[in-house]
Amino acid sequence: MKKPSAEKDSDEYRQRRERNNLAVKKSRMRSKQKAQDTQQRVNELKEENERLEAKIKLLSKELSVLKDLFLEHAHNLADNVPPSGTGADGASPATGVNGHGQ
Amino acid sequence: MKKPSAEKDSDEYRQRRERNNLAVKKSRMRSKQKAQDTQQRVNELKEENERLEAKIKLLSKELSVLKDLFLEHAHNLADNVPPSGTGADGASPATGVNGHGQ
DNA sequence: AATAATTGCGCAATTG
DNA sequence: GCAATTGCGCAATTAT
């Protein structure tokens, strides 16, 4: 079961083989390249992820600061503390301080 | 240059071959598996990314709302508008300046 | 029908 | 010495 040595021993057989070998090489190159690209993609996405997480952390921080300011303000109102030296009478019925969210 | 038919025509040669073939198969399986895993990783990271972006969008929105509130407050002070009836709620910027971005 | 691409498989060389 | 990895070619199958 080696080869029907006849027919395709040389000639256009060899030629087909050669072409195929070439195609094979090409195909495998692509395949490898793709794998590398995918790996690369992973790295990029990881970086992107870290950036986003950092941004989230930052925004969260900012938010919490602002919210705290609001709370403080609310407390001041509740404690009947006027914003400035203005002697406007402060008859502000204290309202509930909304809690933190989320 | 076919084969040094002597020595290694059968026997332990065949055995070595067999083992190697096995090893080759194994190795290639792993390789493929790894590639798939990497691809999978990409997908996961993409999802994660979208989640993070969404979160960022949300936080940004919240922040801009709060900031607008502050601005409004500041303007009120500047315009000497004393704190009027304090609503019991604090989550509806239904008044004043709208549409600041970023 | 013809050609290119992809895939499983085995060999041999190399590496660890 | 041995398993793992790698480049290479063959042949079957699939896609164009």
**B45, B82, B91 ranked by CB distance to A88: nearest:** B82
Using CB atoms, which residue from B38, B60, B62 is nearest to A42? B38
Q: Which helix (H) or strand (E) holds B62?
A: helix B12-78
State the pLDDT confidence band at A32, using cuts at 50, 70 and 90: very high
Distance in angstroms (rounded) separating the CA atoms of residues B23 and B20: 5
Residues B56-79 pLDDT 10s:
999 999 999 988 988 887 777 667
Measuring CA to CA, which residue among B91, B102, B60 is closest to residue A63? B60
pLDDT in tens, A34-93: 999 999 999 999 999 999 999 999 999 999 998 898 888 777 766 665 554 443 443 334
Instruction: Give dist(CA A42, CA B40) in Å, integer.
Output: 10
Lookup: tokens for A20: 């195929």
CA of A14 to C1' of C8 (A): 22
Look-up: residue for tokens 């072409």? A19
State the count of interchain CB pairs (< 8 A) between A and B. 69
CA distance A39 to chain B (A): 6
What gap in Å lies between CA B5 and CA B22, rounded to an integer? Answer: 23
DSSP A94: -
